Structure 1
Amino acid sequence: MNPSTPTADYLEKRAIRRAFDQAASSYEASAVLQDQVGQQLIERLDLVKLEPQWILDLGCGTGLQSRRLNSRYPKARVLAVDLSAGMLRVARQRKNWRQRQHYCQGDAEQLPLATASMDLLYANMSIQWCNDLDQVLRELARVLRPGGLLMFSTLGPDTLTELRQSFASLDDHPHVSQFLDMHDIGDALVRQGYEMPVLDVEHYQLTYVTLDDLLRDLRKVGATNARAGRPRGLLTPARLQKLRDAYETFRSQGRLPATYEVVYGHAWSSGPRPVPREDGAVVLPLTRISRRA
């Protein structure tokens, strides 16, 4: 999520897209945590006064939160954007015909959207799938209207710590994505000119009977390893058993825990920021340039 990230940690968008395409039909039934976090994120809108005309649901998945946003703001139009065409296909199928929703396949780091076109930008558990957080926030600031609201959730570094430690007993390859600390995210919001950023963290724990149940759940929501340095082969039976044995050390009260650190945040847009070029010139967004009479 940072341009200085080592090559092995770089997230391959093609692998991410393929995993979510494959998970589209099973996603909503398995995305228990994503659904709970998404609902809490929408409930936090109670704390702000906002009547958006256009809402961007970034990383909309199968459109569950898009439908809820449309129910909350029935006069608004919701633009559901996702990297995965498979997810968008399911989202279209599940939309209520009365709801005003539109769909667009796109990458958060290069949004195919007009500048200053959105009033509310909602991003539930999606920006952790990007490589450059500053670039993402810069893009979101670009498409938000001045005074627009960014409301997001993402994953922090304690996420899947048990699985990360268990894989470390097998080899030194990256098996679990790296996630940014809340303070790093806050610093990035400030760098990109957002106003009044507010962030907090909550920890969640899902429990499973076996490690295989956890791995199956991760596949069903598309949360597979997309890092460039990931091992390319399947786990052999011997290595899988070794992973099971390592994970067993975390068993408590008959269940295996899976910890998730969720970072919640919101901030207000002051409008697109000027972008410095390599030659030192500053490129102003078109919405900032006034025409002389």
Structure 2
Amino acid sequence: MNSGRKQRISDAFGAAADHYDDHAGPQRAAAALVADLAHRQMPGPVERILEIGCGTGILTRDIQRRWPAAELVVTDLSPEMLAKAAKGGLVAGRFLPMDGEAPVFEGEWFDLILSNLAFQWFDRLEDAIARLTKLLRPGGSLIFSTMGAESFARWRAAHEACGLTPGVPDYPRLDDLRAMLGAYEDAFAFDEDYVLSCGGARGLIAHLKGIGAVVPSDGRKPLPPRELRRVMEAFDRSGGDDAYQLLFGRVTRVALAGG
């Protein structure tokens, strides 16, 4: 069963499902890179692929195009997002409502586990990576993107200039992610920046609402209107645009000798 916070996340993304793709520029860029990394790792046929946090199916469709013969298991915390990804028969696979950090699978099942910008919603990222890695077959890879600590730096700075704490979650630094992956024999992480030309605070807020990313960190509440206006004015004075820091990670389960 979802925790209260996870249910709020599911509800927020469910409400955004019908218009998510209109606001998903960074998400498309990250999905393309996840798929490219996976294809370089596994250029030939694979038997079974798990996707964590499919959203509207941006990565899902790319996965099926690259590995059309693979058994594809597609999951998301939001039933509405899952239905959107499955709609229209564009993807053949098993669609399963699931919290990605609490997978319902056990044992070495998958050749690839892929995820695009879902891991930032996990409560315990390091534990989730360990749990998912155990689902890989020897030689299989977990490849994912997630948000980095430098995301929305100008929006955070605008809050700080007003003496306020932003509701944006505290994402990991690249060094944090590299330290998590340092426990694995074959793993790496890197980052990419994506400039978000939002044209001011109203555009940034519309973007975040459009993709459903509106659930604040635990213990943080939405700002009262007066304080929000102060932050928006400070943000607009800073230039009115912001950026994503996208973190990418890959963990490959080392194949047994002679395997």
TM-score, with length taken from structure 1: 0.80
Q: Report how many residues are paired.
A: 252
Q: Deviations over 1:262-288 (max 9, x none)?
A: 1122120248xxxxxxxxxxxxxxxxx
List per-residue Cα deviations over 1:209-248 (Å, max 9, x = no partner).
231111011011011133121115x631x32321221102
User: What residue ranges of structure 1 are gaps of 5+ in the alignment?
Assistant: 1-9, 272-293
In structure 1, the partner of 2:6 is 13
**Percent identical:** 26
The amino acid of 1:239's aligned partner reads: E
The amino acid that maps onto 1:88 is L
Paired position in structure 1 for 2:242: 258
User: Which has the greater radius of gyration?
Assistant: 1
C-alpha distance after superposition, 1:181-206 (max 9, x if no partner) = 12211221233xx3321221111111
Whether the 8 Å CA contact 1:58–1:80 is kept in 2: the answer is yes
Distance 1:138 1:18, change over 3 A: same
Structure 1 distance, partners of 2:173, 2:97, is 28
Distance 1:121 1:217, change over 3 A: same
**Deviation of residue 133 (structure 1)?**
1.3
The residue matched to 1:208 in structure 2 has which SS?
Answer: coil
Looking at structure 2, the residues matched to 72 and 210 of structure 1 have their Cα atoms a distance apart, in angstroms, of 38
In the alignment, which of 217, 221, 228 is matched to residue 231 of structure 1? Answer: 221
Contact 1:76 1:100 in 2 (8 A): no
- Are 1:11 and 1:131, in contact at CA under 8 Å, matched by a contact in 2? no
2:143 aligned residue:
151
Distance between the aligned counterparts of 1:58 and 1:94, measured in 2?
Answer: 20
Rounded Cα–Cα distance in structure 1 between residues aligned with 2:86 and 2:68: 18
Q: What does residue 52 of structure 1 align with?
A: 46
Contact 1:11 1:226 in 2 (8 A): no
> What is the aligned partner in structure 2 of residue 221 from structure 1?
211
Q: Among 186, 205, 212, which residue is 1:196 paired with?
A: 186
Query: 241-250 or 82-91: which moved more?
Result: 241-250
- The question of 1:70 aligning with 2:64 is answered yes
Partner of 2:230: 242
State the Cα deviation string for residues 56-107 of structure 1 (Å, max 9, x = none): 11111111211110011011121111111110111121442xx431111111
For 1:11 and 1:230, locate their aligned partners in 2 and report how far apart those are by CA, in whole Å: 14
The answer to whether the 8 Å contact 1:61/1:88 transfers is yes
Partners of 1:235 and 1:86 in 2: how far apart?
Answer: 30
Q: What are the within-5 Å matches in structure 2 for residues 118-157 of structure 1?
A: 118-157=110-149
Verify the 8 A CA contact 1:53 1:77 in the aligned structure 2: yes
Conserved? CA contact 1:174–1:229, under 8 Å? no
1:277 equivalent in structure 2: none
Please report the TM-score for the alignment, with normalisation by the length of structure 2: 0.90
Distance 1:167 1:68, change over 3 A: same
Q: How far apart in 1 are the matches of 2:162 and 2:99?
A: 33
1:143 and 1:94 map into 2 onto residues whose CA distance is 30
- Superposed CA deviations along residues 247-268 of structure 1, whole A, max 9, x for unmatched, are 02321xxxx2111111122120
CA distance in 2, matches of 1:163, 1:11: 26
RMSD over equivalenced CA pairs, Å: 2.0
* Correspondence 1:85 to 2:69: no
